[in-house]
Amino acid sequence: MQNIQAFKDYMDQPRKVVILTHFKPDADALGSSLGLAGYLKKKGHAVQVITPSDYPDFIAWMPGNSEVLVFQKERPQKARQFVEGADIIFCLDFSSLNRIHELGELVKVAAARKVLIDHHLEPEKFAEFEQWDETAASTAELVYQLIEQLGDKSLIDASIANCLYAGIMTDTGGFRHPNTTHKVFQIAGELVGLGAEPAKVSKQIYDTNSLERLRLMGYVLSEKLQVLPEYRTAYMALSAEDLKKFSSQTGDTEGLVNYGLSIKGIRLSVMISDRRDNIKLSFRSLGSFSVNDLARKHFEGGGHRNAAGGQTNLTLDQTLQKFLDLLPAYKDELTADEP
């Protein structure tokens, strides 16, 4: 953070704090938010974490989860009161206010000072204070660094450490993605030294499934996974009926898109899901092929070079056809001599 001293001076007295995650928060969004909340509470601040929507059960174990206010699920007016009454608002793991839907308009007009803590590309300039680094593997990593910069590493207890470790672990794909750097291992090691429990966190996130989720995974991989060798591309398209058939809950499709990339020779994997209100797309890639550019240009989305999301207001079939029609234009990039 460039203006760290001004931020530190402002936070030297108790403040009313709101921490916001992006829509459909994942382990990094929730873990970084709850980790930051735990730290700020220790500093004497009144803190409220607000998520625009609900999130998967497999991250609901995190310390502080019971105090999270879900905007969609609970009284929106309550969330509005917190935002309007806040002294300072922290925006975690999203780079644009449209990622928090209705809450974005509230934040835009709020009198509170704003802080952005994020690692996504091309951030919108709405915050006075920024802890932003596109080379960081996760937002949780940036929260850890902020606490360290403020000289408060000693305040990180086991609860905070577990939340931050969860964010780092998941956004590096269990320390398997190319963003798993020496610095990532250093910070993860520090968090373990401060009380994080890798085995516990891993089990809660990766090895806690409902029977319906496992059956959905089997169905997708056996019936929905399609491969286009000429484009080194795999895709899966799930209808609302498919999701209903397996009583799909929030987070049940998370990670499925990665299976496409595990196929030898595949460089681009896409999951397209009908969420009734709109169509969601999840993109993953290997090497230099930028799904961030693809999502931004064609699907109202974005993210990172090798992991991005998007959406359309078309039908599922129309969205799939739009994606397929785009592939010829990207064929040279997809078939270049890379992984």
Q: What is the pLDDT of residues 243-284, one digit of tens each?
A: 999 998 888 999 999 999 999 999 999 999 998 888 999 999
Please, is 271 exposed, middle or buried when counting C-beta atoms within 10 Å of its C-beta (0-12, 13-18, 19+)?
buried
Share of the chain above pLDDT 90, in %: 87
Average pLDDT along the chain: 95
**Enclosing H/E stretch for 158:** helix 158-171
Q: Report d(CA 251, CA 24) in Å as an integer.
A: 8
Tokens at 290, concatenated: 């930028």
- Compare 143 and 338 and report the one with higher pLDDT: 143
Say what the pLDDT of residue 98 is.
86
Q: What is the mean pLDDT of the segment spanning 108-134?
A: 94
Q: Which domains does the chain have, with CATH numbers?
A: 4-206 (3.90.1640.10), 211-334 (3.10.310.30)
pLDDT tens digits, residue range 7-49?
999 999 999 999 999 999 999 999 999 999 999 999 999 999 9
Residue 75 clears pLDDT 80, i.e. is over it: no
Q: What is the pTM of this model?
A: 0.90
Say what the pLDDT of residue 337 is.
74
Say what the pLDDT of residue 2 is.
80
Say what the pLDDT of residue 338 is.
63
Give the confidence band of 101 by pLDDT, cuts at 50, 70, 90.
confident
DSSP track, 280-323: EEEEEE-TT--HHHHHHHHSS-EE-SSEEEEEESS-HHHHHHHH
Share of the chain above pLDDT 70, in %: 99
Say what the pLDDT of residue 249 is.
86
Residue 339 clears pLDDT 70, i.e. is over it: no
